[in-house]
Structure 1
């Protein structure tokens, strides 16, 4: 969707930043890298604001300030007024009134979308919790079951073979954190 969006407008994507970390976390490696790689007036293009944030308001304001300090313009496919940031006329300093109005409108809409994103995340978590509680009460929900075979394998390497956590991880193919948990 992003590639089609920029191609239709005659632009190119300079770089991609993908991460598999919750948008509820402010400290995200790829987001930090994106900010450090950015240049004045670059576009931070996202499919939807919720792909950028599920942060609580105070953390969103911190991230927003970081984006502003790096002088990025946020363009989101789900905020059509943000698309005007791609227009040289609007982003040009020769038209400061239009730019100020568009910037204020986009800022408000993006803040609103960020707040709604967090609210949606909270609602989904609450519904999930309610569903699990209901399934528990009906006897239909079983917590994640331990893999006893895996545990025995780890215990064998740790207790019988006397391997370190790292050696056990290498021998079993499990991560060090999994070995510690077991």
Structure 2
């Protein structure tokens, strides 16, 4: 049994690696080490996730998929969630999350008869489905409120679109000028490589002007 951690953030401005250390600690608390990490910045509402598909393809039967929160996987439409569950089930992969104690059973398989394991797996499956439904509703509610807010702002002539985080970009620019690498800046600021590359491009264009 290998533990494979899946890390996902919704946008390029967020850092999907943020939860890496907490998952390492969680695994160690249960006497395990994480064998591999799969990280990507992609919307939780889509099943088009290359790293998640690579995780499933590289997994052996009975491996663990470790996520910080269930919504890292499950913020999907019902049809896509059912499709993902089928892919996981085909290899008997178990989803484990620190926020779902019933899922921790997969980390401690000591029941010789398998009866208790089967019962708790069934309970865990129901909990996963419930959390997936909640995650999807939360996503849709936030999108609806966002759309309503934008519509109101447009009607009042106040909408300017998404604004860049100027202070964060200034910090990135300062670290680039002092010779810090992309990886060092990610570690210091917890930002994405996409953001660093964007700031670096602006610097090059400014210097060439």
Task: Name the TM-score, length of structure 2 as normaliser.
Answer: 0.65
Tell me how large the CA RMSD over aligned residues is. 1.8
Match of 2:71 among 47, 50, 53: 50
The corresponding residue for 1:137 is 155
Structure-2 change in CA distance of 1:100 and 1:137 (3 Å): same
Matching residue of 1:104: 122
Q: Does 1:121 align with 2:139?
A: yes
Whole-angstrom distance in 2 between the partners of 1:31 and 1:143? 31
Deviations 1:46-77 (A, max 9, x none): 01010112111111011001001021111011
2:102 to 75, 78, 81: 81
Q: CA deviation at 1:134?
A: 1.4
SS in structure 2 at match of 1:18: strand
Q: 1:27: how far off?
A: 2.3
Q: 3-state SS of the aligned residue for 2:41?
A: coil
Deviations 1:4-40 (A, max 9, x none): 1011111000000011111211121101100011011
Gapped runs of 5+ residues in structure 1?
Answer: 146-172, 175-182
Using CA pairs below 8 Å that are at least 6 residues apart, which structure has the higher relative contact order?
Answer: 2
Alignment match of 2:83 (pick from 58, 62, 84):
62
Q: Give the secondary structure class of the aligned counterpart of 1:16.
A: strand
User: Moved runs in structure 1, 4+ residues, more than 4 A?
Assistant: none
- The alignment's TM-score, normalised by the length of structure 1, stands at 0.74
Gaps (5+ residues) in structure 2? 1-21, 164-199, 202-209
Counterpart contact for 2:68–2:99, Cα < 8 Å: yes
Give the count of matched residue pairs. Answer: 144
Query: Quick one: distance in 2 between partners of 1:110 and 1:34?
Result: 19
Does structure 2 retain, via aligned residues, the 8 Å contact 1:73–1:85?
Answer: yes
* Residues 1:12 and 2:33 aligned together: yes
1 CA distance for matches of 2:86 and 2:162? Answer: 40
The higher radius of gyration belongs to: 1
CA contact (8 A) 1:89 1:95 kept: no
Match of 1:24 among 40, 45, 48: 45
Three-state SS of the structure 2 residue aligned to 1:17 is: strand
